Amino acid sequence: MDIVLSDIFNKDYCFDEIISSAPSEIERFIVELTTTCNLACQYCHRQKPDYKHHIMPQEMLRELLAFCTNNNIRGIDFTGGGETTLYAGWKELFDGLIEKNIAIAMTSNFSRDFSDEEIQTLSHFTEITVSMDTADSLLLKKIRGADLKRILLNLTRIRALCLQEQRRVPKLVISVVFLAEIVESLMGLFSFAKVSGVEVVNIQELVVFNDVENDLHSVWELAGQQAVQAAVLIERAFLFAEKQGLKLQVQGDFYKRLAMLKGCDGSESKTLQVVTDGLVQTHSELPGKGQTRNCLDPWRFVQVMGDGQVRICCMRPEPVGLLQDGTLSEILNGDKVKRLRRGLLTGNLDKHCRICHWREAINIDDYRGNVLQMKEATFKKSKIDGVVNRVVADNLKVVFYGAGQFAKELLTQTSFAKIKLVGIVDSNPERTGQDFEGYIIADPASIKDLNADIIVIASGAFVEEIEAFLVRQDLGPVEIFKF
């Protein structure tokens, strides 16, 4: 691996190609519709005295949706500094996207009264994240000004409607800002999540803004016996969540810091606090010599704010560009973004990457290997998208050879999901006649009768043997597509 990496990254033309990006690399496309909010969370940056509210113009939103359509981006996450469901016309917007089979994710405080029609729209989302830091109703009211009963009612109405109509329930996530004040109620939050049908609890770090006044504290500020007691409660609650089948998502070196918290035997915290541009962040350690941050966000993550700012990172205070000054494609391959990617690949981190608590430190060679794997996956995705686009444009007939896990992933996780196959064959006689993702598996001997224009070798093994078999069948001018 070391030889391969040095060969690739020491060649300027290869390096320039790697620090460039393609839309097909984007895994999370986030759009902020508004910063208007119905709550007033104590720690929120919206409490800044100079904070300016904004709402995304319709023309800008249309351009972003066109970008997604033109680049086969099939999922959009509507998340930002405000409450998305306060955006005028949000229901009609999302209804239109649902009709086009766009997967919609959204973050909401769910502290609103929704109509039956709005619940119907929300129930068709792919994923809903509810921001709530505790299931202690009084504490929730104090921290966020939110109503626990209203949150529970909205979650229950969506689940009940999906059950009634025999549809899949959206993936439900709870987002929690990890405060010292919520530690004692953490077990209750996980219990609430379990009975509410929540699958994932996302633990977010408290980011302190020096110009936002509040009386809340990060868990990592605790010291002495307070720290040890908090660590014990956290571990106990996490173990409970694991037993209940809840998935806990944490950031960066969370578990290292938890161990340090538990090991506090003096009066001072053992974690590091770093202040940069008014932000206070906590770490167990900073990247050392030969290390970088394990972050692929500058390639995979795009967030467009309501005022046109484009970001490739949640923690970086300044944008990498403005839509008013250039297209999204130009911004994502502009000098600012390429400089960030180069810094990660070389370990020459700027101040924001260096003190980021979201991504753990990693050896540079290991990180470069991760980047190359991402590029390989992007190349494969681009090949698939190209074939699917031709199939749709020319009304071509497609047959899959293979009905295993690889074929299932192609049909459910790539743009092949957009087309209707004329058939699937598999050489395993035990699969013949079985249903596979809505298709009846046929014997390979019948492949000529399917009159395919393109045969996709949808198998992770025996690819050469399958291709040789197809060539022997005298299928005429058929195209064989393989990986």
Could you write out the DSSP letters of every residue in 227-254?
A: HHHHHHHHHHHHHHHHHTT-EEE--TTH
The pLDDT value given to residue 355: 85
Average pLDDT, the chain: 90
pLDDT digits (tens, 9 = 90+) for 379-390: 888 889 889 989
pLDDT digits (tens, 9 = 90+) for 293-302: 999 999 999 9
What is the mean predicted confidence (pLDDT) over 410-430?
Answer: 92
The pLDDT value given to residue 1: 38
What is the mean predicted confidence (pLDDT) over 158-178?
Answer: 97
The pLDDT value given to residue 3: 39
The pLDDT value given to residue 264: 67
pLDDT digits (tens, 9 = 90+) for 360-382: 899 999 999 999 999 888 888 88
What is the mean predicted confidence (pLDDT) over 73-80?
Answer: 93
The torsion of the CA quartet 148, 152, 157, 158, rounded to 10 degrees, works out to: 110
Tokens of 216: 């809340």
Q: How far apart are CA 39 and CA 81, in angstroms?
A: 11
Number of C-beta neighbours around residue 277 at 10 A: 11
C-alpha distances in Å from residue 378, one per residue of 24, 153, 421, 425: 6, 41, 23, 27
What is the mean predicted confidence (pLDDT) over 277-305?
Answer: 82
pLDDT digits (tens, 9 = 90+) for 26-35: 999 999 999 9
**Which is more confident, 118 or 40?**
118
What is the mean predicted confidence (pLDDT) over 235-240?
Answer: 96
What is the mean predicted confidence (pLDDT) over 400-419?
Answer: 91
**Is 23 a residue whose pLDDT tops 80?**
yes
**Is 267 a residue whose pLDDT tops 90?**
no
The pLDDT value given to residue 20: 87
What's at 83, amino acid-wise?
A: E
pLDDT digits (tens, 9 = 90+) for 470-479: 999 989 899 9
Q: How far is CA 397 from the centre of its chain?
A: 33
What is the mean predicted confidence (pLDDT) over 298-324?
Answer: 94
Please state whether beta strands 247-249 and 291-293 pair in parallel, antiparallel, or not at all (unpaired).
unpaired
